[in-house]
A = this chain, B = another copy of it.
Amino acid sequence: MFDPASLRFDGHGLIPAIAQDADNGEVLMLAWMNEESIVRTLRSGRATYWSRSRQAFWTKGESSGHVQELVELRLDCDRDCLLLLVRQTGPACHTNRRSCFYTAVRDGTETEIMAPAL
């Protein structure tokens, strides 16, 4: 059985979690989880992170409706990072863009490569 306690959490009890679109492979965001948020995510099938700024559980989309349905949870070789394959409803980013990684460095300059959804 998978035991979330067997993962390697940092000094704050957190582990980084990458959310990736299960359908097209787009990297949507990185957020943080603690042990209990992993349990909640697996139990509910909805990505549930730990908000470091609010120091509270954060079920993605609970206010915006932009939920992330968990397709598969993966862990890395060092057991200190998670990869969540998800079905993302609406934009993942709070700026209303599909992905949080909408800024590219091109020719040494920050370039916006993704517009907010209308």
Q: Which residues of A contact B (CB under 8 A)?
A: 1-2, 16, 18, 20, 24-27, 29-30, 42, 72-78, 81, 83, 93-95, 97, 100-106, 108-110, 113
Contacts and interface: CB of A to CB of B under 8 A. Distances in A.
A47 to B, nearest CB: 14
Given A16-B30, A25-B26, A30-B18, A77 B105 contact: no
A2 to B, nearest CB: 5
Given A72-B104, A75-B101, 10 more contacts: A2-B105, A18-B18, A18-B27, A27-B83, A29-B76, A74-B101, A74-B102, A74-B104, A74-B105, A76-B101
B78 A100 contact: yes
